[in-house]
Amino acid sequence: MRVALLSGGTGGAKLARGLLDAVGPQNLTVIANTGDDAWVHGAHVSPDPDLVTYWLADAIDERGYGIRDDSWRVMDALEAAGRPTWFRLGDRDLAMCLIRSELLAAGERLTDAHAAVVRAMGVEARVLPMSDAPAATTIAAHGRTLPFQEFMIVERARGPLEGVGLIGAAPGPVGATARDLAGAPRVADPRGSQAAERDRPEANSAPRPTDAVLAALRDADAIVVGPSNPIASVAPILTLPGVRAALAETTAPVVAVSPFVGGAVLKGPTELFCAFAGIEPSAAGVAAFYGDLLDGIVADEPIAAEVPARETPTLMDTPAARHAVAAATLDFAAALVES
């Protein structure tokens, strides 16, 4: 089974690891959010693609990000020189960023530059940045507009939120359904909905998904929306022109895994972003947000949703648990095809 996973944050990266064990590297493609990307210490940092890569390489640090057993000599030297070090990168982590940065400086696309990082970490599965163009997420809070990483690290994700800007747009309100993200409902068009969405004037000036991303969605036997922050991690991918249309047109089942475990989020500010967007903090709320993009949802709680649901434990705190969630998700996807 060929699987495409939409991923951002820790939950998506953990599920990617479980899917790798379930289907093997040749059948897994991860489409990673790049709204968090930033230039730091002179290097291009791509937090979500790197997080997925380190999980797939079985190299993730116990902190939940970065590379296990890394050293910190560069950060120590920068700190001693009086340079800002609020964004801390271990030495090996920084080396991966420098590989990507060197290739970008030579004119390579982000897709190819990150592929070099994936190879350097010994990962055989594909990890695709959602776009080759800058697609920054910005946050308005406390009367200021901040890049996503500065909001998360310097401001410690302190709410309330006043606006969220996706794929380079100025921060503003976010509607409570995924359909709102593209600015208009799906439209009928004799050339197909991808063509219709492409020809909207606002779509032409926006960052676009890569051909590799659209091909991965087209060729997948199952598409999984990871248990990630629906606004900060998944919405940037869905907002790219053509992605929602690709999900609408695919014959593969599209299944989401809820980010809520035991009724709460285990890590990150998902609840803060859900509150801002008017999303009920539950699996049912996530299902309602994604709406008719989904064919089903997996969660550890009973769900009164408009789409089929599979109730199963979703805590991914061990390799066996990650594999179990991945296997249950793919079994559910296969059952949706048969039904």
Angle CA(226)–CA(231)–CA(233) in degrees, nearest 5?
A: 45
Q: Is the pTM of this model over 0.85?
A: yes
- Decide if 328 contacts 310 (C-beta within 8 A): yes
pLDDT tens for the chain, 339 residues: list them. Answer: 999 999 999 999 999 999 999 999 999 999 999 999 999 999 999 999 999 999 999 999 999 999 999 999 999 999 999 999 999 999 999 999 999 999 999 999 999 999 999 999 999 999 999 999 999 999 999 999 999 999 999 999 999 999 999 988 888 887 666 766 644 222 222 223 333 343 333 344 579 999 999 999 999 999 999 999 999 999 999 999 999 999 999 999 999 999 999 988 888 899 999 999 999 999 999 999 999 999 999 999 998 878 999 999 999 999 999 999 999 999 999 999 987
Are the beta carbons of 266 and 228 closer than 8 angstroms?
no
CA pair distance 225, 7, nearest whole angstrom: 7
Q: What is the DSSP string of 37-48?
A: -EEETTEEE-HH
**Tokens standing for 79?**
């700190």
Q: Which two tokens stand for residue 242?
A: 């053509």
- Cα–chain-centroid distance for residue 272? 17
Residue 296 C-alpha from the chain's centroid: 19
Diameter of the chain measured on Cα atoms: 63
Find out whether 46 and 34 touch, Cβ atoms under 8 Å.
yes
Helices in the chain by DSSP H: which ranges? 9-23, 47-56, 73-80, 91-105, 110-120, 148-153, 178-181, 193-198, 201-204, 211-219, 235-239, 243-249, 270-277, 283-290, 319-338
How many CA atoms lie within 13 Å of 153's alpha carbon, on the beta-carbon side? 14
In single-letter form, the type of residue at position 66 comes to: G
Q: Are 60 and 165 in contact (CB under 8 A)?
A: no
